[in-house]
Amino acid sequence: MSDEGVKKPVLEEVPPLQDAESALGGLARKVESLLFLSNQPVTEMSLAEACEVELDEIERAVAELEEDLAPGRRGLVIRRVGGGLILASDPESETAARRLLSRPRTPPLTQAQAETLAIVAYLQPVARPEIARIRGVSSESAVNSLSERGLIEEAGRSRFGAAIYRTSPLFEKVFGLDGLEALPDPSRFDPTPDDEREIRERLLAAGEQRSEA
Amino acid sequence: MSDEGVKKPVLEEVPPLQDAESALGGLARKVESLLFLSNQPVTEMSLAEACEVELDEIERAVAELEEDLAPGRRGLVIRRVGGGLILASDPESETAARRLLSRPRTPPLTQAQAETLAIVAYLQPVARPEIARIRGVSSESAVNSLSERGLIEEAGRSRFGAAIYRTSPLFEKVFGLDGLEALPDPSRFDPTPDDEREIRERLLAAGEQRSEA
Amino acid sequence: MWMASRLDLDLDLDLDVFIGPFDLLLSIVLREEISLLEVELGEIVARYVEKLEEEGELELEVATEFLVLIAALLELKSRLMLPGAEEDLTEMEPAEAVEELVARMLEYRRYRDAGRALKDHFESQRGFLYRSAPLPPELRRVEVETAEQVYEPDQLAAALGDLLEPPPRPDLSHLRATVSLRRRLSVLRSVLLNRHTFDFDDEFGSEDRMTQAVTIFALLDLYKKGEAVWEQAEACGPITVRRVQAGQEHLANTA
């Protein structure tokens, strides 16, 4: 007696439409679901295995879906990439997507990100191994996320092949800086160092101690 | 650099089809794209802002899309969840999807978890001791596992320092609820006067009998 | 207080399946086929509460409250039969307690049923799967034109200041040397007993730095005592250690 009404999802109340020139066949529907859920290209072979059908059946279903998702028909398109199939949004909606989705891409900086960004900002251009030496730990993930967020960018390679970083124009914008000269004087947080060479040396010395600890 | 090739859509090469009884209108296409890209429910208001159109235009586009994605027509369905719209795969493909993504099925709720979740859902915000009082048993492990599964979350402390819980946005998502108002009416679970009388009488009878022993 | 065997006769209860005392009580009370008159209600519940407590699932306060209610229920009739016999110190009259127990059971039952409904609903919704793909990279970053200031530059200066600070020396006071000079001395002596001369690296090169250092120290001690001499032709070159025969002291490492 307890669960009448709850059990019934809204779904079941609507009878499936059968008209359906525009509806997809069962297997094409399944393929669409699978491509929707996967964020990597999926081969037709994997689709066939997942659906437990023969490859040629999948091929027919994919052809049906491709026709249905032909450019200009829907918000999604199907693409063949890297040997597999993947769904993508129609490029037409890119501007709207940017407005909808790119806003919250400025989460607070983690301590690792703040340190890494400070090193790049004050010492730029600076090579990745140097960042690691100063922080006393590998800084790969902080460097990657700063770079993915567009706050730092590669500015070439060192003689030894290491990536060299500098801050980006976006960095100045989100920190409200009118040029790099506007970076606050770090001496406020440390009384002594005055020139960049000295800061660099002290940073490296402190970093080496950190990594030994 | 990894996404060149993905970026260049097939689109430009193929002239858009114009036949299109079955094709979506421009705004509905955009809405479908946006919902595809977002993995959180999106309100109609945000869609309107992103597309720079009026709310009623979005409502019409959503209605068009809802009709198009009606159950049984495609591999995707559109759902109203947590105050917004979100795309989901059709449940028909669940088994194939789990095979493809080798994702185990989420475990069902245990009875203790279900009771605890019901208390939190209907009484929120509710403190942990209150949950124990109603269940007659410490509910720590149920509370912890619901928290771990992300279905409930802490919402502060009571005056006496006890953790207070409420349901999470994920709860609404996995239960397919469009807001907490969509929970089944709790009066459905109220005992009838007959139930109440029966329990009282049987208890009293036991009490009398016992004391005669 | 009551015979356990009678309980087993009367109803076959697997206490493990109940998830709380109210759950147990409700299912006993509502079982049509048994008469509560026949059942040792109090004992079953008490045993169950005990079991919960053993498993650490019962909060003392919750249990006490519950048992007070049950006890009051079981006293009900005797209190009715002996009106005014003794004024109990408990604030609650048994009749009142029964009412509260009924209310609590009903309240519990409401959430038990709501929980079952949620559980079923959960099942019906499990088939819907949501996309969890990350945003395409070009949507992952803010565009320069639309970006606004969200961070304080001082954050950077502070972070750099933290990095300038050399870390505190690790406290090693809790570590005790595990290499003993005495032990290294005896190792050296036993090597020299068997061989007149040996190469330091051949012998100790595979030891850790600490052990090697203490061994050198021990070697100095042997030299001081006149038991051994050692030579090293060049800096960082091989070290040759030689046992000193009587009357041959202090040829030393001047060679």
pLDDT in tens, A153-183: 998 888 888 899 999 988 998 888 888 888 8
Judge contact between A165 and A154, C-beta under 8 A: yes
Q: Would you say residue A124 lies in a domain?
A: yes
CB-based contact C157 A199, cutoff 8 Å:
no
Q: Which residue has the tokens 């705004």?
A: B27
Contacts of C42 (CB under 8 A, 6+ apart): B210, C1, C2, C70, C71, C73, C74
Q: What is the pLDDT of residue B59?
A: 93
Q: Is B9 inside a domain boundary?
A: no
Query: Buried b / exposed e across C72-103, counting CB within 10 Å, b at 16+?
Result: bbbbbbbbeeeeeeeeeeeeeebeebbbbbbe
pLDDT at B173 over 80: yes
B101 located within any domain: no
Distance CA B210, CA C75 (A): 8
SS3 A78: strand
Same-domain check for residues B157 and B127: yes
For chain C, how big is the Rg over CA atoms in Å?
A: 42
Residue C56 makes CB contacts below 8 A (sequence gap 6+) with B138
Q: Which 8-state DSSP code applies to residue C20?
A: S
A102 lies in some domain:
no
Q: How many domains does chain A have?
A: 2
Whether C140 has its CB under 8 Å from any CB of chain A: the answer is yes
Quote the pLDDT of residue B65. 93
Residue B119 and residue B202 in one domain: yes
Q: Which of residues 221-250 of C touch B (CB under 8 A)?
A: none
Tell me whether strands B126-127 and B152-157 are parallel, antiparallel or unpaired: unpaired
Most confidently predicted of A129-133, A203-207, C100-104, C208-212: A129-133
Which string of b and e fits C202-219 if b means at least 16 CB within 10 Å? ebbeeeeeebbebbeebb
Which pLDDT value is given to residue A103? Answer: 61
Task: Determine the Cα–Cα distance for residues C69 and B197; give it in Å rounded to an integer.
Answer: 18
Check whether residue A137 and residue A208 sit in a common domain: yes
With cut-offs at 50, 70 and 90, classify the pLDDT of residue A16.
very low
Sequence-separated (6 or more) residues with CB below 8 Å from residue C37: B205, B206, B209
Answer yes or no: do B39 and B76 share one domain: yes
Nearest to B154 by CA among B141, B140, B168: B168
Neighboring chains of B (3 or more beta-carbon pairs < 8 A): A, C
> B192: which 2 tokens?
């009838």
Q: Share the mean pLDDT of chain B.
A: 83
Q: Which residues contact C54 (CB under 8 A, 6 or more apart)?
A: none
Hey, what amino acid is at A155?
Answer: A
Is residue A26 a contact partner of residue A65, using CB atoms and an 8 Å limit? no
- Compute the average pLDDT of residues B189-197: 83
How is residue A46 written in tokens? 């994997």
pLDDT of residue A194 exceeding 70, the answer is no
Q: How far apart are CA A79 and CA A89, in angstroms?
A: 10
Q: What is the 3-state secondary structure of C175-215?
A: CCCCCCHHHHHHHHHHHHHHCCEEEHHHHHCCCCHHHHHHH
| pLDDT attached to residue C253 | 43
pLDDT of residue C32: 65
Whether residue B99 lies within 8 A of chain C, CB to CB, comes out as: no
Q: What is the pLDDT of residue A97?
A: 87
Any idea which of A42-46, B207-211, C97-101 has the lowest mean pLDDT? B207-211
The answer to whether C170 contacts chain A (CB < 8 Å) is: yes
Q: Are residues B143 and B204 in the same domain?
A: yes
| Judgement on whether residues B123 and B199 belong to the same structural domain of the protein | yes
- In terms of CA atoms, which chain B residue is nearest residue A13? B71
pLDDT on residue C38: 63
- Decide which of C63 and B166 is more confident: B166
Confidence band for A18, pLDDT divided at 50, 70 and 90:
very low
Clarify whether residues A81 and A118 are in a common domain.
no
The verdict on residue B141 lying in a domain is yes
pLDDT reported for residue B192: 83
Q: Is B127 in the same domain as B196?
A: yes
Chain B residue with minimum CA distance to A91: B9
| Size of the A and B interface in Cβ pairs below 8 Å | 183
Non-local (6+) Cβ contacts of C35 within 8 A are none
Same domain, B69 and B121: no
Tell me the C-alpha to C-alpha distance, in Å, between residue B149 and each of B109, B156, C121. 10, 19, 17
H/E/C letters for each residue in chain B? CCCCCCCCCHHHCCCCCCCCCCCCCHHHHHHHHHHHHCCCCECHHHHHHHHCCCHHHHHHHHHHHHHHCCCCCCCEEEEEECCEEEEEECHHHHHHHHHHHCCCCCCCCCHHHHHHHHHHHHHCCEEHHHHHHHHCCCCHHHHHHHHHCCCEEEEEECCCCCEEEEECHHHHHHCCCCCHHHCCCHHHHCCCHHHHHHHHHHHHHHHHHHHHC
Check A37 against C129: CB less than 8 A apart: yes
Q: Tell me the β-bridge partners of A157.
A: A163
Q: Does pLDDT of B4 surpass 70?
A: no
> Tokens representing A4?
């009448």
Nearest to B33 by CA among B74, B72, B87: B87
Mean of the per-residue pLDDT values of chain A? 81
| C30-to-A125, B71, C15, C112 alpha-carbon distances in Å | 78, 42, 16, 15
* Whether residue B200 sits in one domain with residue B143: yes
Whether residue A138 is contained in a domain is answered as yes
CA distance B116 to B110: 10
3-class DSSP state of A127: strand
* Same domain membership, residue A198 and residue A127: yes
Tokens of C229: 């001499």
CB C63 within 8 A of CB C57: no
| C48/B60: higher pLDDT | B60
Q: For chain B, what is the radius of gyration of the CA atoms?
A: 25
Q: Which domain holds residue B133?
A: 111-183+191-212
Query: In terms of domains, do A72 and A124 share one?
Result: no
DSSP state of A166: E
Q: Is residue A78 part of a domain?
A: yes
Using CB atoms, pick whichever of A9, A173, A184 lies closest to residue C153: A184
B210: chain C residues, CB-CB within 8 Å: 41-42, 73-74, 77
What's the confidence (pLDDT) of residue A31?
94
For residue B64, the distance in angstroms to the closest alpha carbon of chain A comes to 12
Residues sharing a CB contact under 8 Å with residue C215, sequence separation 6 or more, in sequence order = C184, C187, C188, C200, C204, C207
Residue B30 has pLDDT above 80, yes or no: yes
ipTM > 0.95 (yes/no)? no
Boundary residue ending a domain (A59, A92, A125): A92
From first to last of the 255 residues of chain C, give the pLDDT tens digit.
344 444 444 556 677 778 888 888 888 777 766 666 666 777 777 788 888 888 777 777 777 778 777 777 776 655 554 555 455 545 556 677 778 888 888 888 889 999 999 899 888 888 888 888 777 777 766 777 777 787 888 888 888 877 777 766 666 666 655 678 888 888 888 888 888 888 888 888 888 888 888 888 888 888 888 888 888 888 778 888 888 875 544 444 443
Q: What is the mean pLDDT of residues A132-140?
A: 84
Here the CATH number for the domain that contains residue B51 is 1.10.10.10
- pLDDT tens-place string over residues B93-148: 998 998 898 877 778 899 999 999 999 999 999 998 889 889 888 888 899 999 98
Question: Can you say whether residue C19 is alpha, beta or left, with left for phi > 0 and alpha for psi between -120 and 50 degrees?
Answer: alpha
pLDDT of residue B3: 44
Question: Edge-to-edge strands of the sheet including C239-243?
Answer: C197-199, C239-243, C228-232
Among A147, A149, A126, A148, which residue's Cα sits nearest to residue A207?
Answer: A126
Question: Which long-range contacts (C-beta less than 8 Å, at least 24 apart) are formed by C205-214?
Answer: C210/C177, C210/C178, C210/C179, C211/C179, C211/C184, C214/C177, C214/C179, C214/C180, C214/C181, C214/C184
Strands B163-167 and B152-157: antiparallel
Phi, psi (degrees; rounded to nearest 5) at A176: 60, 35
Q: Could you tell me which chain C residue has the CA closest to the CA of A137?
A: C163
Residue with tokens 């879906």: A65
pLDDT of B165 reads: 93
CB atoms within 10 A of CB A179: 7
The confidence band for B162, taking pLDDT boundaries of 50, 70 and 90, is confident
In angstroms, the CA B81 to CA B68 distance is 18
Show which of residues 88-127 on chain C sit within 8 Å of chain A, judged by CB atoms.
Answer: 113-114, 116-118, 120-121, 124-125
Q: Does A15 reside within a domain?
A: no
